[in-house]
Amino acid sequence: AEEAVRHLDLAEKYESQQNWAKAIEEYSKAVELLKLSGLLSLHIDDINERIVHLTQISQQEKALQRKEVEVELSGLRDEAFHFLDKAKSLEVDGRYQEAISCYSSAIKLLEQAKWDESLLGQIKLKLEKLVDIFKQQQIMAHQRALRAEQAPIKVEKSFGAPETTIIPAGLDKRSKLRMEFETQKRREEDIQNRAFESIDMGKNLLEEKNFDVAKSKYLEALDLLRSIGWTDENLSYLYGDIDSVERQRVAFEKAESQKVEQAARATPQTVTSETTPQKEIVPEIMDVQSKAIMKYEAKKRREDEVQKKAFELMDEGERLI
């Protein structure tokens, strides 16, 4: 009986520490000892009830912990799937380095989420292949750069009839500088043309009420123009286009909703009556857009003139030397 009391004291101590398993163990030992002693038998039922109660508490806590773990794992999986979707999109666009980063992040999250090893292995294999492709691209780009440096450079004289002169690479820094400038200029023009194509596609899609894709085309154009130095002032018309997409979406959805409501309330006579056509909402931004483009083109012409003058002064300086 004294040994049973000692176990009861230990059980209460563990219970105060919320160590339910140890408390249940000590209560069970106390019950067995009390049965053997034949003393304090009236308390055995109370102790058994306490054991049942603590068992229920322990089971509830374990269930709650399992649920919390599942919620955490679910959150990790959702975040990983977001990275996987982004990685696939980047891969389609040829942006392999960014795609590799997204795949790596997804793998780390899925490992934490205890994802199926076979499925995880497929993603890892995909990542390895993508890394190989990216490395091959880097090697090819490096080889192209070496060939470009070693290739002869064609330069046209500034005055008189065009005359082509072959200058070995690395021997004439002025010519190399001029070539780099022309290359950069062509690149900017190409990016600008791609941006304007995206804007035109966005307008066509907007007319077709394809609002999501239209907005994505405007955003694509925005990124392209920013990459070649267009400022927010130059891009103000494009911001207006993007805002216009949302306004037209809201107006279109409202008009469609009204049509549905009118059709639901209409009688047979009113159904056949003529309806007033919905006024098409067209963004009035063409003038602003044209001005922005003209302003940017004027800026580029000034830069070209300054560059041309600089090369002429360099030519004159070399002749004087």
pLDDT attached to residue 157: 40
Percent residues over pLDDT 90 in the chain: 1
- pLDDT tens-digit readout, 34-90: 888 877 666 788 888 888 988 888 888 888 888 877 778 788 888 888 988 988 888
C-alpha to C-alpha distance for 132 and 155, rounded to whole angstroms: 38
Q: 292: buried, middle or exposed (CB in 10 Å: 19+, 13-18, 0-12)?
A: buried
DSSP state for residue 165 in the 8-state scheme: E
Q: What share of the chain is helix, strand, coil (3-state, %, to 5)?
A: 80, 0, 15
Q: Is residue 92 helix, strand or coil?
A: helix
Burial of 62 (0-12, 13-18, 19+ CB in 10 A): exposed
- pTM here is 0.36
pLDDT band at 279 (very low <50, low <70, confident <90, very high): very low
Burial of 321 (0-12, 13-18, 19+ CB in 10 A): exposed
**Could you tell me if 126 and 116 are in contact, meaning their C-beta atoms sit under 8 angstroms apart?**
no
Cβ neighbours of residue 14 closer than 8 Å, sequence gap 6 or more: 20, 22, 23, 26
Closest among 38, 42, 50 to 8, alpha carbons compared: 50
Distant-in-sequence, close-in-space partners of 140: CB < 8 Å, separation ≥ 6:
none
Mean pLDDT of the chain: 75
Question: CA-to-CA distance for 294 and 78, rounded, in angstroms?
Answer: 46
pLDDT given at position 236:
73
Q: What are phi and psi of 284, to 5 degrees?
A: -95, 80
| Alpha-carbon span 149 to 143, nearest angstrom | 10
Distances in Å between the Cα of 31 and the Cα atoms of 8, 34, 48, 207 are 9, 5, 8, 82
Rg, the chain, Cα only = 37
Quick one: pLDDT band at residue 119, thresholds 50, 70, 90? Answer: confident
Asked if residue 278 has pLDDT above 70, the reply is no
- The burial class, CB within 10 Å (0-12 / 13-18 / 19+), for 270 is exposed
